[in-house]
Structure 1
Amino acid sequence: MNIAFSPCPNDTFVFHAWVHGLVPGAPALDVTYADIDITNGMATSGTGPDVLKISYAALPWVLSEYALLPCGGALGRGCGPLVLTNGTTIRDPRDLSGRRVAVPSERSTAYLLFRLWAAQHVPGGVGEIVIMPFHQIMPAVRDGEIDAGLVIHEARFTYPSYGLYMLTDLGSWWETDTGLPIPLGAIIARRSLDLDAIAGWVRTSVEYAWANPDASRSYVLNHAQEMDPEVAQAHIDLYVNSFTANLGEEGYGAVAALLGRAAAAGLVPSINLPEALYAKR
């Protein structure tokens, strides 16, 4: 079975057991490791893998071929994207008007949250949006190549080392505004496959990871490249939570709220969520 997910610690932690043949009855996996912008593109290409991790923001474009699984993804509290500046000329959201902002993907949840937030807080809107690989954003902000950057993942823990200023925490804004957790990354599978079985294998892999937290350490750190082990563990602790095992009513409610608000603003196609998604488990 073909699968694509990021090399980030939360994804490698979640899928370690399945990748290494530790999930009973699950087929062997052919893994592609790719950043979220690439996996979003895979899902819309028509030739994407059987299972993959995408942004929730990309979900409305792929539901004819794929269904959302109720486990394995990233959704939670206190884990939202950050808007960073170098702290010299931009220290208020109004200062972003007409500025150049780097984002990791046009169809990332981070960018969708940013657009919803900016509509309320940046008069006249921002200027140029620059799509930039995640790892290049903070150095570019630091060096003045761009005015602000939208960052995700371990940047929550590392941005002070670049001397950057956090203009806003979009996760805190979303949670305060809605009272809901933040839907970040979704696990989807082709509708033509046995979705119940795939969801069961993903959940078993999650449960193995929790029961054997040291088993995946070398695999996680190998794909995290030069990330400090403590940062990698903090990343896992933040993004792998009860919603990873089961989205549940609150998780599905958060997805509906995000995509419903975005559709009302004309940012994503409108979908009938209960009919479009995999049955709740």
Structure 2
Amino acid sequence: MKISISPCPNDTFVFHAWVHGLIPGAPRLDVTYADIDITNTLAAGSAGPDVVKISYAALPWVLSEYALLPCGGALGKGCGPMVLTSNRAGCNNDSARLSGRRVAVPSERSTAYLLFRLWAAQHVPGGVGEIVVLPFHEIMPAVRDGLVDAGLVIHEARFTYPSYGLTLLADLGSWWEQDTNLPIPLGAIIARRSLDLPAITGWIQASVKYAWAHPEESKEYILHHSQELSPEVTQAHIKLYVNEFTENIGETGYKAVVALLSRASQEGLVPKIDLTALYL
């Protein structure tokens, strides 16, 4: 079975057991590790993987071929994307100063960028200027070096941005939570509708449970793929992004996904979809 996930610690933590053949009855996985911008694109293609991690924001483009699985992804509170600037950009903590600025984002179909557009519509008069898509690990250096005026960051950047001398302009997760009282839906696991979806769901949930029961077993695998992050940062990353919604989205998680995509479609940012198609 072909699967594409990110090399980030939450994905490798969740899928370690299945990747290493530790889930009884689960098929062998052929894994591709790629940044979210690439996995979003893979899912939109006709020859995409059987199972793939994408942004929730990309769901409207793939639901005809793929189903949202109720597990394995990333939802939660206190874990949203952030807008960072450097002092040289002159933005400081005034979001209005992003008007007309050059901003780097990790993907044009990422949940981070979707939230950024919803937030900017309320907080940046006249809108931002040029949007530059960069792999997420290149965004903070680009802001630091003055190649862009601000950066939209995800994942472990929450823990490491001070080391780049950057300033937090906006925490979009906090904004979303205050506005909706719902968790923020970041990354989704989807599978081709032609497959045995209940079985895949069960294998992923078993892999999550194994990871929680045997946290030491996955450490070497996680660090190997974590782009030279320290063990402390990888553990903080896992603690933040792997939670009860990872095992089962549940009613609250589905409400969050519906709220995000409904608001985005009303603003014309994503295609309108039949929201009942989100439920497995």
* TM-score, normalised with respect to structure 1: 0.98
Matched, 1:90 2:85: no
For residues 266 and 278 of structure 2, the distance between their equivalents in structure 1, rounded to whole angstroms, comes to: 19
Structure 1 residues not aligned, in runs of 5+? none
For residues 203 and 272 of structure 1, the distance between their equivalents in structure 2, rounded to whole angstroms, comes to: 26
Match of 1:133 among 132, 135, 138: 135
Q: Which residue of 1 aligns with 2:103?
A: 101
1:173-212 equivalences under 5 Å are: 173-212=175-214
For residues 158 and 225 of structure 1, the distance between their equivalents in structure 2, rounded to whole angstroms, comes to: 13
Q: Which residue of 1 aligns with 2:30?
A: 30
For residues 209 and 180 of structure 1, the distance between their equivalents in structure 2, rounded to whole angstroms, comes to: 26
Identity fraction in percent:
77
Deviation at 1:277, TM superposition (A): 2.3
Matched, 1:40 2:27: no
1:1-281 equivalences under 5 Å are: 1-88=1-88, 89-91=90-92, 92-274=94-276, 276-279=277-280
The one-letter code sitting in structure 2 at the alignment partner of 1:8 is C
The one-letter code sitting in structure 1 at the alignment partner of 2:170 is T
Q: Deviations over 1:147-168 (max 9, x none)?
A: 0000000000000000000000
SS at 1:145 equivalent: coil
Output the aligned Cα RMSD.
0.6
Deviation at 1:133, TM superposition (A): 1.1
Deviation at 1:98, TM superposition (A): 0.3
The one-letter code sitting in structure 2 at the alignment partner of 1:186 is A
For residues 28 and 240 of structure 1, the distance between their equivalents in structure 2, rounded to whole angstroms, comes to: 23
* Residues paired across the two proteins, number: 278
The one-letter code sitting in structure 1 at the alignment partner of 2:91 is I
Deviation at 1:87, TM superposition (A): 2.6
Deviation at 1:47, TM superposition (A): 0.7
For residues 53 and 74 of structure 2, the distance between their equivalents in structure 1, rounded to whole angstroms, comes to: 9
Deviation at 1:225, TM superposition (A): 2.9
The one-letter code sitting in structure 2 at the alignment partner of 1:53 is K
For residues 157 and 146 of structure 2, the distance between their equivalents in structure 1, rounded to whole angstroms, comes to: 18
The one-letter code sitting in structure 2 at the alignment partner of 1:237 is K
The one-letter code sitting in structure 1 at the alignment partner of 2:164 is Y
SS at 2:87 equivalent: coil
For residues 231 and 87 of structure 2, the distance between their equivalents in structure 1, rounded to whole angstroms, comes to: 28
Q: Deviations over 1:137-195 (max 9, x none)?
A: 10110111100000000000000000000000000000001110000000000000000
Structure 2 residues not aligned, in runs of 5+? none
For residues 200 and 16 of structure 1, the distance between their equivalents in structure 2, rounded to whole angstroms, comes to: 15
